[in-house]
Amino acid sequence: MSTLNKTHDPAAKSWVETANLLEAEFSIQNLPFGVFSIGGGDKDIGVAIGDRILDMTAIEQHGLVRPDGERTVFDRAEINSFMALGPAVWSSTRAAIFDLLHIDNHDLRDDADLCRQVLVAMSEATMHLPIYVRSYTDFYSSQEHATNVGIMFRGPENALPPNWLHMPIGYNGRASTVVVSGTEIHRSWGQLKAPDEDAPHFAPCERLDIELEFGAIVGTPTALGETLTVADAYDKIFGYVLLNDWSARDIQTWEYQPLGPFQSKATATTISPWVVTREALEPFRVSTPERVKPLLPYLHEDAPGNFDINLEVQLTPEAAASVTLSATNYKYMYFSSAQQLAHHAASGCAMCTGDLLGSGTISGPDRSSCGSLLEITSGGKEPVSIADGATRTFLEDNDTVTLKGYCQADGHRVGFGMCVGKVLPAVVHRGHAGA
């Protein structure tokens, strides 16, 4: 279990001055990992600091930080090899980077030539998917979200399924369509059927939605047959990203019974490019909500498992100003990421380095804190106002959705950057008779 150390010092400052601004997301207390390239060049692994990226590929080559001795791990196009080294190495590497960037350390700061080689402007970088996503699982762990959706579909008496308060409900999604922030998304095709129709028809989705989620990334694997305590699971999580699980609600309504979402969630899942490490979030741990019913022992938490993370969803229509759709907090989640991972492994399912666990839609106690348009608009019955008198029930073509998130401490932030995606029109479908 992680504890606070020098990298969490709220008074610490960096010689990269933009990291010391009060609203800087990438403070020296953060140090998230990502993958970037400059001008179409090779992909390098980097750490965000202020408005700069510390090129860890170059740092490792120069011998300034070497997590695995003689073997290099930062000369890859993803951070999986580094994650596989485990928590002790994650922590020692974070401490070494912290020391290198600390305002009192002159080793790198005063070497102008080396600084030009290893410190690049974030504005010049193209960000890439930071991990090789081995598998993707999406959960359904916000009591507020599950209740809101359940009332729409089953009425208030049966809002939550009978198993919901006993375990994190989830399904296995498509790892192949996890994409990095900035990737444009084409509106999906699928079978649609209105309640008053006798048969379905095949057409582009008409009720495209977003889901504000938090993604946990498994760092160290488990063997087939191995199980985990919640504390074990907490330590196996390397870090976290913002996650938008694009959802075709009309396709989902027709297909989800009896086995759950399939094509409605397969088009794309967007994640933010910077992986904020679990250790960076340690000062922001909070307990999960009070239990309505007692959990079985294997899901018991000995320590707080949630985090106090401010979250926001913005919608930007084409050629119009942005509007905030939702503002909420991750602390409302009924099941933590560690509980989700412990439950996932409870059957002996092998978990792999690079597995991505989506939290499920994060909603708070009122309409302004709901994490999906399905909830915000009451299933499309109550449109939300946007720019110039226009409204939305669900997403329209050329809408851009931006997720934001940060933890606020006294004097600094630990931020996630942005998770952005734009909706493009559906492409011509080769198998559609009308194409």
Active site residues: 145
Q: Mapping DSSP to helix (H, G, I), strand (E, B) and coil, where does residue 208 land?
A: strand
CB 383, CB 390: distance < 8 Å: no
Give the H or E element holding residue 270.
strand 269-271
d(Cα 405, Cα 102) in Å, to the nearest integer? 25
d(Cα 375, Cα 149) in Å, to the nearest integer? 7
d(Cα 394, Cα 374) in Å, to the nearest integer? 8
- The structure tokens listed for 42 are 């090779």
Give the H or E element holding residue 138.
strand 136-139
Give the H or E element holding residue 97.
helix 87-101
Q: Mapping DSSP to helix (H, G, I), strand (E, B) and coil, where does residue 115 land?
A: helix
Phi first, then psi: what are they for 218, rounded to 5°?
-75, 130
Give the H or E element holding residue 253.
helix 249-255
CB 408, CB 263: distance < 8 Å: no
DSSP per position, 299-350: G--SS--EE--EEEEEEE-TTS--EEEEEEEGGG-SS-HHHHHHHHHTT-PP
Give the H or E element holding residue 243.
strand 237-245
Give the H or E element holding residue 407.
strand 400-408
Distance (Å) of CA 371 to CA 71, 254, 363:
43, 22, 5
N- to C-terminal Cα separation, the chain: 56
Radius of gyration of the chain (CA): 22
d(Cα 89, Cα 95) in Å, to the nearest integer? 10
